[in-house]
Amino acid sequence: MVTVGRCIVIILWLSLTAASAAWAQTGALPLIQETLRQTTVDPTATLSLPEPTALQAGWWQYFQHSEESVVNTRIAATLERLDALVDTLPEASREAGRASVELVRANLLTLPQIRAQTAPQPPAPPPYARDYTITQMLELSEQLRQVRANRDALAPEIAAAENAISAVGRRLDNLMAGYLALRSSNPERALQGLEIMAERTSLMLTEERLRIERAELRVLQVRASQLADEFEVARNRLSATWGDLLQIDLDIADIQAELEAAQGRLVREQSTATQIVGSSPADRATGQYRQQRVIKAAIDEAEIRLRLHRLHMQRHLTQLLLDQAVETLALRNQLERWLAEHNDLDHQMQIWRNNSERERSRAGLAIASSDEIGTPDYSRLIVLNQDRFRLAQNSLVALERLQSLVQQNRRLLEQIDVELLQLEGWLRSWLAWSKLRAQDVVQGASGWIHTSLFRIADTPVTAMGLLRVLLIITVAWLFSYLLRRALTRLSERSDSRNLPAFYTVGRLSHYVLIIAGVLMGLSSVGMDFTNFALIAGALALGIGFGLQAIVNNFISGLILLFERSLKVGDFVELGSNIAGEVVSGEVKAINVRSTHIKTNENIDIVVPNSAFMTNNVVNWTLQEPYRRVHYPFRVAFGVSKELVRKAGLEAAEKVPHTLSGLPGKNPQVWLVGYGENGYIFELVVWLTPSAVKRPQAVQAAFYWELETALQKYQIEVPVPQRDLRLREWPSGWSVTTPTETSLPPRSV
């Protein structure tokens, strides 16, 4: 079936190909295409006037027509129909319907004007000049900066418009779904239809504006690329004359005089700003106005100083272009000084900008919400606030010029660097280039790490502050680690009984050092801990919501360390069971949240510290590391008790776990009772500290030696005996029943 189907498809395709070729040769195909073109109907011609109570799919295409007169006629007819419809709405919804109609009217009347705007086209590449002067190169640099700034500002606006279109599209879908769910006789259907028309016509306007903005963005992108190419060409085709050098020297003298005057104005403004003012609103506004005048004077002084630097840079660059003798080392040092000064100015410009924007905002709010109406100082206060606003605005404009000068000077520094690299040897050029690039990286990183990332209360936090906090905490942790390691080595050299004391000191020192490091780190970024009540409240809130268990275990760990009811090295039995057995093991560590216990089977158990506060725990080595154990055994009746004592003590002496040399803690053999088959004795011994933590292995060792001693002295170990008597046998069985059945005692 598959093969037959493929054959049919191939035959049809060949037939159509042959027919198309025949029509093309006879001229029939162009005739058919022309007939179809002439009979093509405008898709908008089939759409009728949009009716809010019965909107069709794609109703907005009714206004999509190539002829402007047709569009205007349709808009007029639609607005006339909507005005008539509003008059028929119920009184309660008539006001909302009229508002939607007015929005539709504004959108439709604006739509032809926007469509009439022609989207800008990318410009043709400009012809390059044969030679470029330094001034022309700087002009190209400034044009490139402005075009890139406009491009970077327009791109987010287009992205925001695209997001808005998507949001309005989703809202229209929801409105349309609700609209279709209403019956045609429902009065709300007409009102919702008007709302849909208002939203959709607004969306049409946004789409048309977005079309223009996208075209403008393409133009800016092309223009930026063209200016960048021409700027690179200008850098390679720079030329200068001796007349340029003479004019630069004259300009330097003029700028030097302007700089001295600007510095004098700055000093006077600073002196005026330090004068004491009163506490009235007008006096406070006067003080803020004086501070802004200082900022404006500082900006003007920096602008003139940058212009002077630019002239000096142009002079050095002109000398290099004219092949004059230049002291390269001195010029290289001068470049580094200029670069450092420009980097410092970047940071200062950010401070000036923040202060000016804040002052402009404050002055604007003071003008809009003045509560001194009717007071004698009202007129003066209004004038002062207006002057503050105007001065702050002028400062921001001057900062833009200053930013442009900084960019131009950086271009000159780069060009001088290029010319110096060509003048110097390749090795010195490479070293100088590497040094400058390293300085750029350091300066760029320095500017970034000192930028505020976020704020905690009124304290700005920078990347440098975070690094400082991490460094202080790391140093505290490292010091704590070295201290604990030294204490561990001291404990290994001293008596093992002092191990818990060394561990407790090391653990408490670790907590203290880490907490002190955190507090010192946070204080280094400017956080104020004087308001301890606020911090305590935040901690209490955090503990109440999710840190209760963690804090409980941490406090329990501190209690264990101070109380010393549980120490590192102790052998404990827990109240919990694992696989039906009581858990016992040696305490290895008491951490922040839990305690680490290792069993004799090399199983690690992590127990929350709070469990030792609420559950019963048996500590075998709390007060002393020694422990007395009882190992019961039986011997047959009639055996000499003294012989049994001798055998038991001899067995205890052969086991290395037996404690010896301490008064009152010698091994003993006790007769504790009479059993069914013999005497019941107990071997009572005191164990060494290491043996206390190995109960099962030590028990096996003692019984091994005890069995050996009993065999040595041929002491009988009784075996249980039983008599079997059968009271009644089944009939027909013939069995000889012994009067007594017993097993002989085992002789050892």
Q: Which long-range contacts (CB under 8 A, 24 or more apart) does 101-110 make?
A: 101/194, 101/198, 103/198, 103/201, 103/202, 104/78, 104/79, 104/194, 104/197, 104/198, 104/201, 105/79, 107/198, 107/201, 107/202, 107/204, 107/205, 108/63, 108/75, 108/78, 108/79, 108/201, 109/75, 110/205
Please give the distance of CA 583 from its chain centroid, rounded to a whole number.
44
Which has the higher per-residue pLDDT, 352 or 528? 352
Per-residue pLDDT, averaged over 606-614, amounts to 78
Q: Is the model's pLDDT at 436 over the cut of 80?
A: no
- Report yes or no: 220 and 147 within 8 Å, Cβ to Cβ: yes
Contacts of 666 by beta carbon, 8 Å cutoff, 6+ apart: 660, 686
pLDDT at 716 over 80: yes
Residue 461, token pair as written in the block = 């936090």
Residue of higher predicted confidence among 388 and 609: 388
**Residue 415 reports pLDDT greater than 70:** yes
What phi and psi, each to the nearest 5 degrees, are found at residue 605? -120, 125
Q: What is the mean pLDDT of residues 27-49?
A: 47
- pLDDT tens for 258-269 read 899 999 999 998
Residue 673 carries which DSSP code?
Answer: E
d(CA 360, CA 474): 43
Under CATH, which architecture does the 624-748 domain have? 2-Layer Sandwich (3.30)
DSSP string across 578-616: ETTEEEEEEEEEE-SSEEEEE-TTS-EEEEETTHHHHS-
Q: Out of 143-157, 223-237, 714-728, pick the least confident.
A: 714-728
- Residue 293 to residues 260, 275, 300, 395, 554: CA-CA distances in angstroms? 18, 14, 10, 9, 57
pLDDT greater at residue 108 or residue 441: 108
Say whether pLDDT at 302 is over 60.
Answer: yes
> What average pLDDT does range 722-737 have in this prediction?
61
pLDDT of the residue at 368:
65
Give the mean pLDDT of 81-99.
87
Kind and range of the H or E element at 631? strand 627-636
In the predicted model, is pLDDT for residue 231 greater than 80? yes
Residue 323: the pLDDT is 81
Q: For every residue of 331-397, which 3-state class applies, written as one string?
A: HHHHHHHHHHHHHHHHHHHHHHHHHHHHHHHHHHHHHHCCCCCCCCCHHHHHHHHHHHHHHHHHHHH
Q: What is the three-state SS of 290-322? A: HHHHHHHHHHHHHHHHHHHHHHHHHHHHHHHHC
Locate the domains of the chain by residue range. Answer: 44-234, 240-450, 624-748
Sheet with strand 594-598: strands edge to edge: 604-608, 594-598, 581-590, 571-578, 618-619
Q: What is the mean pLDDT of residues 454-479?
A: 78
Looking at residues 327-356, what average pLDDT do you find? 87
Residues above pLDDT 90, as percent of the chain: 6
Whole-number pLDDT of residue 538:
61
113: closest CA among 218, 214, 205? 205
Q: What is the mean pLDDT of residues 307-313?
A: 90
Query: What number is the average pLDDT over the span 575-581?
Result: 54
Give the ranges where 183-280 is alpha helix by DSSP (H): 187-236, 242-273
Q: Is the pLDDT of residue 3 over 50?
A: no
The answer for residues whose C-beta is within 8 angstroms of residue 716's C-beta and 6 or more apart is 635, 636, 639, 678, 745, 746, 747, 748
Average pLDDT in the chain: 78
Q: pTM to 2 decimals? A: 0.50
Q: What angle do CA 279, 281, 283 make, to 5 degrees?
A: 60
Which of 335 and 438 is assigned the larger pLDDT? 335
The confidence score (pLDDT) of residue 491 equals 72
Work out the angle at residue 140's Cα, subtended by the Cα atoms of residues 139 and 143, and round it to the nearest 5 degrees: 85
Inform me whether the pLDDT recorded for 743 exceeds 50: no
Q: Is the pLDDT of residue 557 over 80?
A: no
Average pLDDT over residues 8-27: 48
What contacts 28, CB < 8 A, 6 or more positions away? 22
The two three-digit tokens of residue 529, written as one number: 């801990």
pLDDT tens digits, residue range 468-526? Answer: 888 888 998 898 888 888 887 887 777 656 666 677 777 778 888 888 888 888 777 76
* Interatomic CA distance for residues 196 and 328, integer angstroms: 73
Residue 632's H or E segment, with its range, is: strand 627-636
Is the pLDDT score of 126 beyond 60?
yes
Quick: pLDDT tens for 40-78. 334 445 567 888 888 888 888 888 877 888 888 888 988
> Is the pLDDT reported for residue 20 higher than 60?
no
- Is residue 547 predicted with pLDDT exceeding 50? yes
Q: Are the C-beta atoms of 210 and 162 separated by less than 8 Å?
A: yes
Give the separation between CA 439 and CA 675, rounded to whole angstroms. 95
CB 569 within 8 A of CB 496: yes
Structure tokens at 480: 């704590």
pLDDT tens for each residue of 675-693: 888 888 998 998 887 787 7
Task: Provide φ and ψ at 624, rounded to 5°.
Answer: -130, 155
What's the pLDDT score for residue 219?
92
